[in-house]
Structure 1
């Protein structure tokens, strides 16, 4: 077999297996990279790369090893779901970095977490004064979560006793890339005629619309292909 054709077929095979494996394992590996998830992801990538480029091994043998490792990950994940101690063994515990405005240097050294990283994470949360922080916790996936002291927290409508409109539904996407999403219309008891009437109010047709979404407050947001901007910021 031609070497380029073989690599192409191997790549398609590896991609298909990896996609199916990812679907079975779920979203946690993508969203929460713990130590276990990190090691698992690297191993899956290495095996997949071998399927594509290492022509000295048979595809079936490498595919079997990939599926076997995926099965091990799945079994370990199922055990972790039922055992808190096992989860802690795999992922570790969250670590408190700041307590009542005081940096816990010992915990930072234990986690090999630098002041530069801490300051960057705080600035990304619009915190420039560490004294504003009640608790800062380094989660097991490496993300820093911060709880401000009460006097520095954002005031909400509830705090001011201001009535808020009720929103019982998620925003509903009606048009995407100039195409009506019929499934979303029918599931929410909306009709194409209703949508066309809404567009006519703005002198638009479906083909003119990039994105249209009905918010939880029943307000219709419409974005068109022609934004009527004289100097778009992203124009090269």
Structure 2
């Protein structure tokens, strides 16, 4: 029983330590898994796992190890920020895979990057024909950035000389799971009475609405609990 309580406490401690470390190192460590971030994440995960379950070693040893790794990772990030020349050693650098429509086989060999991986990454960018690609660069986090040839680029409003009317903003959630998001309304200068009037105009009640959001173009969109779908799709 005592061992179980100790493991429970150490597990909570390990979880809290990893959350604190993630906050210290910042969002970039989570979003951009570079060489440096990968090594840091794997090592800290292993140390945290041992902190949770390895009773043979005192917990504070693992805490010390995590603190040292956090400090080391933070210092390396600061060094890379202040001295750009060190970044390729700390985080690696991007590699050109396709240049002017031509695949650079030597670069792919250096990275052990196969054609299957290239084609998969291109499909994830909605590119199914390699002839559409002008440049493709493998970033330090392993993701492929693609620039299409001019004739395959999608049209945008600027190309058609269309003038954008109105303003856009972040979407504002006003109702969630049948409950009014009063804090969101207050922060965006929206009144509860205004929202209730909008609901009344739809012939609905607050309890009928599962989700409500004011979209980026200012429209108010509701999703109801009862969607009146005759044959809803149910996929497991």
With structure 2 as the length reference, what TM-score do the two structures score?
Answer: 0.94
- In the other structure, the counterpart of 1:15 is 15
Structure 2 gaps, min length 5: none
Paired residue secondary structure (1:21): helix
Are residues 216 and 231 of structure 1, via their aligned partners in 2, closer, same or farther at CA, if it must alter by over 3 Å? Answer: same
What is the deviation of 1:180?
A: 2.0
What is the deviation of 1:210?
A: 2.3
Paired residue secondary structure (1:234): coil
After superposing on structure 2, the runs of 4+ consecutive aligned residues of structure 1 that deviate more than 3 Å are none
Distance 1:208 1:39 in 2: 50
Comparing 150-159 and 180-189, the one that deviates more? 180-189
Aligned residues: CA RMSD: 1.5
- Are 2:168 and 2:218, in contact at CA under 8 Å, matched by a contact in 1? no
Distance 1:109 1:33 in 2: 21
Equivalences for residues 99-114 of structure 1 within 5 A = 99-114=99-114
Paired residue secondary structure (2:189): coil
- In the other structure, the counterpart of 2:185 is 185
Paired residue secondary structure (1:216): coil
- Are 1:165 and 1:217, in contact at CA under 8 Å, matched by a contact in 2? no
Paired residue secondary structure (1:4): helix
Structure 1 gaps, min length 5: none
What is the deviation of 1:131?
A: 1.5
Count of residues paired in the alignment: 236
Aligned: 1:3 with 2:3:
yes
Deviations 1:140-165 (A, max 9, x none): 11000100011100011211112223
Distance 2:29 2:177 in 1: 30
Distance 1:228 1:83 in 2: 60
- Are 1:215 and 1:221, in contact at CA under 8 Å, matched by a contact in 2? yes
Distance 2:29 2:205 in 1: 42
Paired residue secondary structure (2:223): strand
What is the deviation of 1:23?
A: 1.1
Equivalences for residues 1-236 of structure 1 within 5 A = 2-234=2-234
Deviations 1:36-94 (A, max 9, x none): 00000001100100111000111222122212211221122122221211212111221
Paired residue secondary structure (1:140): coil
Distance 1:192 1:226 in 2: 23
With structure 1 as the length reference, what TM-score do the two structures score?
Answer: 0.94
Distance 2:112 2:146 in 1: 19
